[in-house]
Amino acid sequence: MYASQPEVLAYIESVVSRFDHSSHIHLNQECTAAEWLDDEFLWRVHFVERESGRTYVKTAQFLITAVGFCDTPNGAEGIRDIQNFGGRMFHSASWDHSFDFRDKNVVVVGNGCSANQFVPHLLKHAEIRSMVQVMKSPHWIAPKDNGPVPAWQKW
């Protein structure tokens, strides 16, 4: 069973509001460094507030990193002469929601999990003119069994 993004987001938001957690969560903050202070027995953690660029420091007895490994997107350096490209370009992980796809020629670079998810979505919901997808190597692609969970299965 697979939940869609809006469903997952709605769930997270409901948990946050149910336990009144919003004051403990700070979004758009980038952690740039963390250092262990031997004398004080503390971690000193450096942050940048993304919107204002303001930097600040927090100290903590415990530091838990839960950053995952799909956090830094690959760049476009693999595309020759990319500096000459005059169109719009973004990585699927930092999607440009302001971009109007109507009547546009779209090029997709890659065919992994990300492309697999947004290619059908774009074709269905955006009125693009054309799409060319360029892949380097294939993946084994498996069917996703998905469907509603009947009431008796929820326990």
Partner 1 sequence: MAEVVSLGIFPSSFPRTPVLRNVARLFRSFPASNRLWRFWLAAKLDLAFTAFTTSTMGKMLRRAVQKSLEDYIRCTAPSEYHDILIPDFDFGAKRPVLDHGYLSALHDPRVKLLRSPSLAVVGPRELQVEDGETFQADVVILANGFKTQELLTPMTIMGQNEAELPKLWRQEGNFASAYMGYVHTTARGPSLSNALTAS
Q: Which stretch binds partner 1 (CB under 8 A): 12-20, 21-29, 50-58, 147-155?
A: 147-155
Rounded Cα gap, residues 29 and 14, in angstroms = 22
Binding mask 120-139 for partner 1 (x = CB under 8 A): xx-xx---xxxxxxxxxxxx
Report the residue number, 16 or 108, with the smaller CB distance to partner 1: 108
- Count of residues that interact with partner 1, criterion CB under 8 A: 78
The reply on whether position 70 binds partner 1 by CB under 8 A is: yes
Binding mask 6-45 for partner 1 (x = CB under 8 A): -------------------------xxxxxx-x-------
Report the residue number, 51 or 81, with the smaller CB distance to partner 1: 81
Report the residue number, 60 or 93, with the smaller CB distance to partner 1: 93
Structure tokens at 29: 């903050």
Question: In this chain, which of 58, 86, 98, 154 binds partner 1, going by CB under 8 A?
Answer: 86
What letters, b where the CB count within 10 A reaches 16 and e where it falls short, cover 117-138?
A: eebeebeeebeeeeeeeeeeee
Query: CB within 8 A of 94, min separation 6: which ones?
Result: 73
What are the φ/ψ torsions at residue 49 (nearest 5 degrees)? -80, 115
Structure tokens at 20: 């009144």
